[in-house]
Structure 1
């Protein structure tokens, strides 16, 4: 009788655990891909819930959400888009918050190609300079703002090649199709160290702060896993990962 009770208790406990485990559909700005993959793994270990990630540009995600895409949490590369979604009734009012401050870097896959002050931009000893589409990606807009403030936009415009998002822009440079490009610091650095090639971290006064906001979307309002992920992003584990990839908090 006792054995039967224990088996029943164990079965109910397992069933309850399975019932609690859930999925949350997350739209993630491409610049935040690497840290979010780590955060998602830690979230699953901590809660049993799974964050299913979709990566892309902020502008494209906005269009998809407007057209009914079933994302439940949105990690944008800017602050304006989540606020706009709240105003339009597509996100849960009052749930938006800044999860990271993005940083821009000029990066080349070639060691020694970029100097410590970014003077390579003035030398023009390159054929292509990669930037993300400024209409869709805040990092692309920040890149053009930087070139404008440096007085180099008109000169370098013929050399620009555009990626649809910051991930594609990074690939242009990594593959050598562009000798250098403006990417997110998190793509080139980890743990405070340059992963490969050469880079110039763009001074913060050359572009407006890239405040990256998260927001709970209407399809996630009734999903406890979506709300749990929003809380997890504010916690110490997630913040440690975010800082490790060079973002500000």
Structure 2
């Protein structure tokens, strides 16, 4: 029997690519969006869900169970970006960001766990980011939210072990998606002490996304993980240099690694 897969944020970008690829491979795929009516031509059904609204999460899961009576794989992909000098990002924007990138995914996990326990099986894949392995200048809040999801997955795996429910992280690097258009940008203020440094870093970040890899690479990685009996705790998908940056952080002295980042961002 084909596995039933739920992908949050499945209407565009990486989520859409994963959904289309898994559909081609014979999975019964459902994506989510805050406005599913905008995606009537999607190759797989799009259900209404806003990770910041708990009621929509429970309604979405119930709707899926009414159709399929099971959930085999949850891909926690919905997320947003945020940039800016930490000093200048409004606190409410920081909280809103964590609601989407951290607390939202936790609420979706809580909603699917009763069904997965009933099945005595299930796989939860949390899409994080290579940025979650390091504090990046002018992306500090984004790094923090993705890093928090990486760590909580490590704990959650152990709590779920006795129920035969698997959980893993997949940290992508830069892919050619529309994430830059949807993220919160703290404005580059004329009178800001960060004006030049932040402005230049923002241009560099946008260039990285524009020249990013095809998100199908991420879809292929997800497909392999689903077909792995015992998934690893962490996976990284991206350019060699991006994955290498994680290794270097482990082995280099802190200040040497910091200097490397400062040079990369020309700060």
TM-score (norm 2): 0.27
Larger radius of gyration: 1
By percentage of residues, which structure has more strand? Answer: 1
Where relative contact order (Cα < 8 A, 6+ residues apart) is larger, the structure is: 1
TM-score (norm 1): 0.28
